């Protein structure tokens, strides 16, 4: 029996990629497709929009009307929309995969509380390669971090609305946690003018928004005489989509709880 997947923002770039990935996945089927209330595409066939031909699942803006049509919701939208969808999933006992970034501290509390009732997998990045980088960063920080200046560079397309990216922040958090530093106190998000000598304990972030860049991330550990760089470059959204669906399939058999992609990949010690 196939696991039924609901997709939010199904007419957008990531949503269409997710629809294509579901169609190509064994054991998964598209159960529901959601879009914003102001979308001109409401009522259109989601698979046809993704270039697959009609499959009979049309775009709707009302999650209540399709809540019985999916087992796991995959949500890559915006914080307010995700929280509303989370509430609907909690009420109906549906699992949810959250790829949205930019949540406030209060939002994070709401998500954690919902995870006491339903399975939730939340990650800043669902790429298998990025999550491997998180693991590599732990090792690099433990060995090099105390003697290195650490800088994080990220680049995304012109339409991305949050900065730094959630992935860059997660990378910074991994490094800070490994080194016993409080990221909120050591992060530097921009430099201009006479800044003085660099504080060794700081972790710098540089952000680029341009063109159609899918997602580039590099963490540099720069010591005297050498530097080590851990880089991930995404050339297509399909890597994120496949990872999210891998998480959805994994989540479908889990008890309520708050999980991340490290759990899915078995990378946690």
The pLDDT of 49-61, averaged and rounded, is 94
The pLDDT of 149-162, averaged and rounded, is 95
Tell whether the model's pLDDT for residue 169 goes beyond 70. yes
Q: Which is it for the CA torsion 122, 126, 128, 134, positive or negative?
A: negative
Same domain, 136 and 12: no
Same domain, 224 and 114: no
For 146, the domain range is: 128-234
The pLDDT of 243-263, averaged and rounded, is 94
Same domain, 113 and 143: no
- Is-catalytic flag, 160? yes
Tell whether the model's pLDDT for residue 269 goes beyond 70. no
Given 54, 122, 135, 156, the catalytic residue = 156
Task: Find out whether 33 and 16 touch, Cβ atoms under 8 Å.
Answer: no
Task: Find out whether 30 and 10 touch, Cβ atoms under 8 Å.
Answer: no
Same domain, 230 and 241: no
Altogether, the residues listed in the chain come to a count of: 269
Given 160, 185, 232, 233, the catalytic residue = 160
Residue 221: both structure tokens together:
């550990």
- Nearest residue to 111 via CA among 74, 68, 82, 81: 82
Q: Which residues sit opposite 5 in a β-bridge?
A: 30, 72
Same domain, 86 and 165: no
Same domain, 101 and 201: no
Going by the DSSP 8-state scheme, the letter that residue 191 receives in this structure is: -
- Is-catalytic flag, 217? no
Taking all residues of the chain, what is their mean pLDDT, rounded to a whole number? 95
**CA angle (134 as vertex; 133, 140 as ends), nearest 5:** 80
- d(Cα 237, Cα 74) in Å, to the nearest integer? 14
Domains in the chain: how many in total? 2
**Residues 176-216: tens digit of each pLDDT:** 999 999 999 999 998 999 999 999 999 999 999 999 999 99
**Residues 9-38: tens digit of each pLDDT:** 999 999 999 999 999 999 999 999 999 999
Same domain, 40 and 166: no
């Amino acid at each position: 029996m196939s696991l039924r997947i609901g997709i939010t923002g199904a007419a957008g770039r990531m949503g269409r990629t997710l629809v294509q990935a579901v169609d190509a996945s064994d054991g998964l089927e598209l159960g529901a497709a959601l879009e914003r209330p102001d979308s001109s595409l409401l009522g259109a066939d989601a698979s046809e929009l993704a270039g697959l031909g009609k499959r009979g699942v049309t775009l709707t803006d009302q999650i209540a009307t399709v809540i019985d049509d999916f087992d796991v919701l995959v949500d890559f939208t915006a914080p307010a929309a995700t929280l509303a969808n989370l509430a609907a999933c909690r009420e109906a006992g549906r699992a949810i995969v959250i790829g949205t970034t930019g949540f406030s501290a209060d939002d994070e509390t709401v998500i954690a509380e919902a995870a006491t009732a339903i399975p939730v997998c939340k990650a800043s990045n669902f790429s298998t390669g990025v999550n491997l980088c998180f693991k590599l960063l732990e090792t690099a920080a433990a060995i090099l971090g105390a003697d290195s200046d650490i800088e994080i560079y990220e680049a995304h397309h012109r339409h991305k609305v949050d900065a730094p990216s959630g992935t860059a922040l997660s990378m910074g958090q991994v490094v800070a946690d490994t080194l016993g530093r409080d990221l909120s106190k050591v992060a530097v998000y921009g430099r201009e003018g006479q800044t003085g000598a660099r504080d060794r304990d700081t972790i710098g972030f540089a952000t680029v928004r341009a063109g159609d860049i899918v997602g580039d991330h590099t963490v540099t550990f720069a010591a005297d005489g050498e530097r080590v760089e851990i880089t991930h470059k995404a050339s297509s959204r399909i890597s994120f989509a496949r990872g999210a669906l891998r998480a959805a399939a994994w989540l479908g058999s889990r008890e309520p709880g708050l999980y991340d992609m490290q759990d899915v990949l078995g990378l946690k010690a």
